[in-house]
Chain A
Amino acid sequence: MAQIVAGFGVPHTPIFPHFVKRDGPDCEIARLFGAQQEQLAATRPDLIVMFDTDHLNTFFLNDLPIFAVGIDKDFKAPNDEPPDVPNYIVKSLPGLAAHIRAAAIGSGFDVGMTQNFSVDHSIIVPLHFLTPEMQIPVIPFFVSGHVPPLPKAQRCHDLGKAVARAIESWPDRLRVVIMGSGSFSLEVGGPRMAASRSDGVPDPDWALRVIKSLEEQKIDRLIAEATEHQLLKAGNVGGELLNWIAMLGAIGDRKPTYVAPQMQNGHAYGVWRWN
């Protein structure tokens, strides 16, 4: 049977590959992703399931699911030209992806799908740092986190649980890592961006509060506080926290191995390992 062996929370800032190329392996971004890369390798994963918010590239405003799974033997990335990210083809497991979707629907989650798709920086930037050889198959699970109305935090946590049940009912012996991609407080291109930046952190107190809840394993509190109002107050991409919450639902109630904040970006690097 497939088993979930770890959870990761990852940022996906599109300019980070450029910064690391420019600043070298000792810069903060390289060290933080490098530490996660070591943790990930130690879990010996056969598959990554990544909860992610597409930035209107795989989907768009004419066709926007609240939840969707990418189902194909592979997918291309990136489709949004982040600087210094090569073109990748990422392997996937379409049989298991379709099983996850069917099981989630069976659990009451009306999950859409995409096939023959590509993905943007929000999936490929973390993979660029964590699995640069693209040797691990990845199933993307899309959660609408940018365009209100947003799904409720409790719903996303429950979705994570349903995805975990689906994975654990798959007969192949696979070690599965769950990832959640995104920021806790960030505004990109909107009025709350910082001067002389293309983004900003409108609610740093909230980002700290999220990190505290993760560290203290107060996930019920996090879910209760992550109202739509709070997520929108945290910035126009503040709903990306829902990807972390879905990941937490999938891995169960656990204490993190570590959560490393990067407050100037309103996000963190989180690792949950137990196996």
Chain B
Amino acid sequence: MSVFAVNYLCRELLRDHAFRAAMKADPGKALAPLDLSDDERRALLSGDVGALYRMGANGFLMNYLARFEVCGLNREIYSQRMRAVKVDEIGQPVA
């Protein structure tokens, strides 16, 4: 379940200031040692939080990507991309 690694690294952005700095400086390098699938790595590096949400990543935790402005994200871009995800009544992604 590598989506765990996505969720974990989002919280590490909050916890680990060295990792936060590394993600701001060079996300590709910072993510290189992490156990991510190719799809997850690609989505993270392009700031595609909608794709990550559809893969099962946690929206609350991914909000740290916007808060700390990594992977090309800021509050506005994050909000646009996340709000574009189609979900059902309880927030689960739909096709």
Give the B-binding residues of A (Cβ under 8 A): 55-57, 60-62, 79-81, 146-147, 187-193, 195-198, 202, 229, 232-233, 235-237
Contact = CB atoms under 8 A, between A and B. Distances in A.
Contact of B83 (A61, A62, A193, A236): A193
B63 A188 contact: yes
B82 A189 contact: yes
Contacts of B44: none
A68 to B, nearest CB: 18
Given A62-B4, A196-B79, A191 B63 contact: no
Given A198-B66, A232-B91, A193 B79 contact: yes
Q: Main SS of chain A's interface residues?
A: loop
A80 B79 contact: no
A61 B91 contact: no
B56 to A, nearest CB: 11
A146 B50 CA distance: 20
A193 B53 CA distance: 14
B91 A187 contact: yes
A177 to B, nearest CB: 28
B59 A236 contact: yes
Contact of A191 (B4, B15, B67, B83): B83
10 contacts: A56-B61, A61-B7, A61-B8, A189-B62, A190-B87, A191-B59, A197-B79, A233-B89, A233-B91, A236-B59
Contacts of A192: 83, 87, 91
Nearest to A230: B90
A229 B90 contact: yes
Contacts of A237: 60
Interface string B77-95: 0110011111101110100
